[in-house]
Structure 1
Amino acid sequence: MVASAAETPEIAIVGGGIGGLAAAAFLHRAGLPSTVYEQASELTPVGAGVVVAPNAVRLLRRLGVLDTFLERAVQLQVGWEFRRWQTGTVLSAENLEAACERLYGEHTYTAHRADLLDAIGSAVPAGTVRLGRRCVGLDAAGPRPVLRFADGEVVEPDVLIGADGIHSVVRSTLAEPSPATYSGLCAFRALVPAERAPSFARRPAQTLWIGPDHHLVHYPISAGRLVNLVAFAPAGDYSIESWTAAATVEEFLTEFAGWDPRLIDLIRAAGTPGRWALLDRAPLRRWSVGRTTLLGDAAHPMFPFFAQGAAQAIEDAAVLAACLAGDRADPARGLHRYEELRRPRTSRLQEVSHARSFVNHLPDGPEQEVRDASFRDADPLVANSWIYKYDPDAAIAEAVTGAGG
């Protein structure tokens, strides 16, 4: 049976990153075609490593792309392996291989962002993504959103989804002004070829080295061919918030002078590191206006300290598709329901991710000793069950039951 035009709204997605492609994939799965407008003229393997936890893995399986993803992903055996900055002493470590699937039905993986994007993209029909389409303006006040591109093209879809990232043009139109504030932190990111990395960094483990005002995370990606390295340090007067901004290995080394020599060796093996400022943004009070909404980093940019940015964008996509499919006659109502379902969860993750920076960066002393002692008795996999057990279908069903009760 072919759906009528009224039952099949024309859906435009601005942004072809993880959230945008996940939205297109879940919409396609729900029988709703869409068009993705991506400003890049070609899709290149940008970015570095991501942790893909059970809540996201569950959705990759639902899309039918998990096997594709696993071709280049690394299954973590150990996670939350906290180490002391000077000596590398292990403060705690979680056996993910033994517990993750038992608790949440899926394992935890690490991957290059491009590999995750490719896997999700494999569920998007050919011709869905239009490249070289830079959005420069939006009018969401009318009955249909009006989208304008740099080359003069104008598109008037029935539904518009802003998945255009942390510098979202769509958000700047929908949401109240909320300028980013200085966090005092910046991040370094680098990829190290496995053959140049020390053996401890090649293990299928997510390791976090913590010390005064700094911490550093590493884990293997790309089927073990690379080690992803991301570190956080005081920003000073650095304020560039861009994936393409670069630093030098010498700048990276200076920040971690005096740390365990093995870690210094790992940093020395890195190529040109990226560097960007972490700017702070409070949770938005509104994501949607009429038939236009936000998704992923455009809606809820968060510090990376719980490694949930990509996962939350994928969750957004699954819930959004279900809400639009369940209310085809009134897309605005479907978008409102989507926002009601997603905003409390993502706002909570924004807040806890923000707080984690203070815990990781305590100076050596009594508070640090109490923190380190607390790690020995902690079980972060269980403590964060509210993150990893989440299932969009269950969340939607629970909301319906609650509304009916």
Structure 2
Amino acid sequence: MSLYEGLDVIVVGAGIAGLSAAIALRRAGHKVQIFEQSDLNNELGAAIHLSPNAARILLPWGMDPDRGRFVVAKTTYIANGETLARLRGRLPVDLHGELKRMISNPEAPGPPVMLIANVRVVNHDATAGAVTLADGTTYKADLVIAADGVHSGATEVVFGTKNRALPTDQTAFRFLIPTSVLAEDPETAHFLEGDDGRFKVFMGDGKRIVWYPCRNNEEQNFVGIFQDDEKDMREGKYWNVAVEQNELLEVYRNFHPSILAVLKKATHIKKWPLLFRFPISPWYSSKLVLIGDAAHPMLPLQGQAGAQAIEDSAALAIMISDLTKSKLQANPNLTSERLELFQKDQAAGVAEAVKPYFGDGVPVPKSPDEFIVYNFSHDVVKESLKVLKEHEEARGF
């Protein structure tokens, strides 16, 4: 596909879903423009566990683990947060920066991606394939991808009614601590012994702290998940708010003094509620499609919320990889046809992921090894290519 035959695509949101979609579509020969509300310089205080089902997509796309300062998870340490007694013993990465590098890499295949930050999309026109910014400027494309998360304004346009995100009873703290800061204090330095690639979880009293190194072991990433009784937080009125250290220490006051010594070194702490939304269908309307948390919000467990966003991007790119402007002119329904195929492929995967928890008579993985195979073995590229091939063969192509 030449540079000029590919589709013009607008992506709303430059998170994991949006950047992954831009990379995949660029590789397919489409011209991509991203609109992002933030300035992209705000550190969220969070790395991500990149699971095998996501890594097998990103590595062929040109992801560079060395440039991204990734840390390979070599061991897992799970302990009681109050006593430090071990209960039982993955790839944590600074993914966002590497994805930004990949969209701008001049040596990558396809036309370079245009990323525009500090702009807010206030309106989506599914029929026209257009978005309007807060300053009144309207941009049109052959396809608009809403990848702006659980609060996406495109959901109402696609679904036809409001389907707002709802709170769970869980809230998360997220923050980073420089490894050097922990190493300087004997009370916390022992946690770093043999720590290259160690994924740690401390649990107790219905709370947990997940801790792992990132950025080539230069930073330590922390996620603290707990039940939050604060009404406004439970109702999702606040999102990614900065909090004082004493609030973090109060939540984990019953944890071991060594853990509290670590938490006392936390700065720039962010807190936000963990939200969910009832499943919606369809995920698309005319020239507008939802991916990632905009389509199917998932809790940040096992790295599968981010992985699902990456899988969405790969599947969508495959489904529209051969589309050109001339093909759409010859068959205006082709976009909707392929988006329907994308939804069937990916929605089936999302449904399969929750069967062990909600399905009747569905076998649940009974061991850590079974769970790893179940959770991480899906090959979305292979499956999507198969679905597209079967679809085209059924149409006589």
Common fold by TM > 0.5: yes
Tell me how far apart the structure 2 counterparts of residues 324 and 88 of structure 1 sit (CA, whole Å). 51
Tell me how far apart the structure 2 counterparts of residues 114 and 397 of structure 1 sit (CA, whole Å). 27
Tell me how far apart the structure 2 counterparts of residues 286 and 242 of structure 1 sit (CA, whole Å). 28
| Of 194, 209, 219, the match for 2:179 | 194
Number of paired residues?
364
**Shift in Å, 1:379:** 4.2
Name 1:52's counterpart in structure 2.
Answer: 50
Q: Is the 8 A contact 2:46 2:223 kept in 1?
A: no
Name 1:217's counterpart in structure 2.
Answer: 210
Name 2:338's counterpart in structure 1.
Answer: 334
Tell me how far apart the structure 2 counterparts of residues 137 and 72 of structure 1 sit (CA, whole Å). 38
**Shift in Å, 1:172:** 2.6
Tell me how far apart the structure 1 counterparts of residues 239 and 356 of structure 2 sit (CA, whole Å). 23
**Shift in Å, 1:183:** 1.2
How does the TM-score come out when normalised to structure 1?
Answer: 0.81
Tell me how far apart the structure 2 counterparts of residues 224 and 242 of structure 1 sit (CA, whole Å). 31
Q: Is the 8 A contact 1:27 1:33 kept in 2?
A: yes
Larger relative helix fraction: 1
Kindly provide the amino acid, as one letter, of the partner of residue 110 in structure 1.
Answer: P
| Of 146, 155, 177, the match for 1:162 | 146
Kindly provide the amino acid, as one letter, of the partner of residue 73 in structure 1.
Answer: F
| Of 360, 372, 387, the match for 1:399 | 387
Is 1:20 matched with 2:18? yes
Alignment CA distance shift 1:42-1:270 (3 Å)? closer
RMSD between aligned alpha carbons?
Answer: 2.7
Higher alpha-carbon deviation: 36-45 or 276-285:
36-45
**Shift in Å, 1:40:** 2.6
| Identical amino acids, percent of aligned pairs | 25
Name 1:109's counterpart in structure 2.
Answer: 91
Name 1:38's counterpart in structure 2.
Answer: 36
Equivalent residue of 2:298, what SS? coil
Tell me how far apart the structure 2 counterparts of residues 263 and 22 of structure 1 sit (CA, whole Å). 35
Tell me how far apart the structure 1 counterparts of residues 44 and 292 of structure 2 sit (CA, whole Å). 17
**Shift in Å, 1:283:** 2.3
Higher alpha-carbon deviation: 205-214 or 176-185:
176-185
**Shift in Å, 1:128:** 1.6
Name 1:387's counterpart in structure 2.
Answer: 375
Name 2:330's counterpart in structure 1.
Answer: none
Name 2:121's counterpart in structure 1.
Answer: 135
Unaligned runs of 5+ in 1: 94-107, 356-376
Kindly provide the amino acid, as one letter, of the partner of residue 169 in structure 2.
Answer: G
Q: Is the 8 A contact 2:146 2:289 kept in 1?
A: yes
Q: Is the 8 A contact 2:146 2:152 kept in 1?
A: yes
Kindly provide the amino acid, as one letter, of the partner of residue 15 in structure 2.
Answer: G
**Shift in Å, 1:139:** 2.1
**Shift in Å, 1:132:** 2.9
1:266-345 to 2 correspondences below 5 Å: 266-328=262-324, 329=327, 330-345=334-349
Alignment CA distance shift 1:201-1:382 (3 Å)? farther
Tell me how far apart the structure 2 counterparts of residues 242 and 26 of structure 1 sit (CA, whole Å). 33
**Shift in Å, 1:387:** 2.6
Tell me how far apart the structure 1 counterparts of residues 75 and 46 of structure 2 sit (CA, whole Å). 20
Tell me how far apart the structure 1 counterparts of residues 149 and 269 of structure 2 sit (CA, whole Å). 22
